[in-house]
Amino acid sequence: MNNMDIQKGIETLANLSKLAANVTDAKSAAKQTTEPKQDISSQPHTQTVEVKVGSEQDKKPTVIREKPETHVHNYFPENRELSERECQVREMQLKFEAEEKDKAREFELKKFELELKERERLEARADRFREEQKEENKKFWKRFLIGVGAVAGIGVGCACIDRYTSSWSSSSSRLGISAPTQVNIPVEGSVK
């Protein structure tokens, strides 16, 4: 590729972008001309704004009631060197604040430790309860299985006894010897 080909390609791209811009402008202009705005309301919307300009004296608002300040932002508001008594007072305030913070921190620490001990005690109790429940469940199932085995053994024994005794009874199995029947056969001779 030489420089002429590159320049022709750039000119072609520029012409294509101009063509695209003209086509989109023509479409938007056609839309604007075909869709006239319609006023739905019967009255035109007008708004009147009244602005009053006061003098220099009226710019400051009038104070109806001054609220006394109940808290102090700066302990010693003047930019001056503190006296020895003011330094002592401020040192005492800071010392008391630090002591109160230490006491609050110790209280929170003790409270946390007590809560931790209580939680550990409750968890140990819950663990013991779970272990007892497991042991009771094991005992229950052991007893249950022993009972089921005993009932099954008794049932098998009863079935065996019934089967054994019913084999001796000729009426139930129809295998035994039946009762003798009388047959009238003429007999010659006598029995001594």
The amino acid occupying position 97 is: E
Provide the 10 A C-beta neighbour count for residue 146.
10
How far is 5 from 12, CA to CA, in rounded Å? 11
Query: Is the pLDDT higher at 177 or at 153?
Result: 153
Percent of the residues in the chain that have a pLDDT greater than 70, as a whole number: 63
pLDDT given at position 72: 45
Cβ partners under 8 Å of residue 75, min gap 6: 90, 93
Task: Record the pTM.
Answer: 0.34
| DSSP letter (8 states) at residue 81 | P
Report residue 175: phi and psi, to 5°. Answer: -105, -15
